[in-house]
């Protein structure tokens, strides 16, 4: 009986250890944002979307108007007035449905027209699905 138990424990360890070692690391997401009124609905939508991937992503939020945000902008080489930039595994540029998407500015159809990017929450969801499929 002791040999059977020892064998079972060994077998379990041989299966469990490689499975945990091979599991993909979480997708690293960094969000640079302006904590201003017009962007609040977009930020809430992004938070809600990210919550659906909680175990597969890690998110860092950087407020442009904070010291952390200023350091982060300098590190990323960002200058000027930009309301929102989302990096996923250190990238902002992706291909979605055959078009190039850059996750910067307000999503299409929200916020001031001159700060709108050419991306949607659906585009962000598609990229999250692709990136977390490995996790």
Q: How confident is the model at residue 57 (pLDDT cuts 50, 70, 90)?
A: very high
pTM listed for this prediction: 0.79
- 127: nearest Cα among 69, 49, 34, 47: 49
32-56 pLDDT, tens digit each: 999 988 899 999 999 999 999 988 9
pLDDT at res. 107: 85
Task: Give the separation between CA 79 and CA 14, rounded to whole angstroms.
Answer: 51
Domain ranges in the chain are 25-132
- CATH number (3.30.750.24, 3.40.30.10, 3.30.450.20, 3.30.1010.10) of 25-132 reads 3.40.30.10
Q: Which two tokens stand for residue 59?
A: 């998110």
Return the residue matching tokens 């996750």: 103
Tell me which of 119 and 1 has the higher pLDDT: 119
At residue 35, φ and ψ (nearest 5 deg) are -85, 55
pLDDT at res. 75: 94
pLDDT at res. 21: 43
Tell me which of 63 and 109 has the higher pLDDT: 63
pLDDT at res. 12: 42
pLDDT at res. 13: 47
Task: Give the separation between CA 102 and CA 66, rounded to whole angstroms.
Answer: 24
68-123 pLDDT, tens digit each: 999 999 999 988 888 999 999 999 999 999 999 999 998 876 766 667 678 999 99
Question: Which residues, 6 or more positions from 57, have their beta carbon under 8 angstroms from its beta carbon?
Answer: 26, 27, 28, 29, 50, 128, 132
Q: Which string of DSSP letters, residue by residue, matches 43-95?
A: HHHHHHHHHTTTTTEEEEEEETTSHHHHHHHHHHT--S--SEEEEETTB-EEE
pLDDT at res. 15: 57
């Amino acid at each position: 009986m002791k040999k059977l138990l020892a064998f079972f424990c060994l077998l379990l360890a041989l299966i469990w250890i490689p499975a945990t070692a091979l599991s993909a690391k979480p997708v690293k997401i960094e969000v640079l944002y302006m904590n201003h009124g017009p962007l609040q609905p977009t930020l809430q939508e992004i938070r809600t979307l990210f919550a659906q991937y909680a175990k597969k992503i890690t998110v860092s939020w950087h407020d442009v108007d904070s010291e952390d945000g200023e350091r982060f902008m300098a590190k990323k080489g960002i200058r000027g007035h930009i309301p929102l930039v989302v990096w996923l595994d250190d990238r902002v540029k992706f291909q979605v449905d055959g078009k190039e998407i850059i996750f910067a500015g307000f999503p299409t159809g929200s916020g001031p027209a001159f700060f709108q990017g050419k991306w949607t929450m659906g585009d962000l969801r598609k990229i999250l699905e692709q990136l977390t499929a490995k996790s």
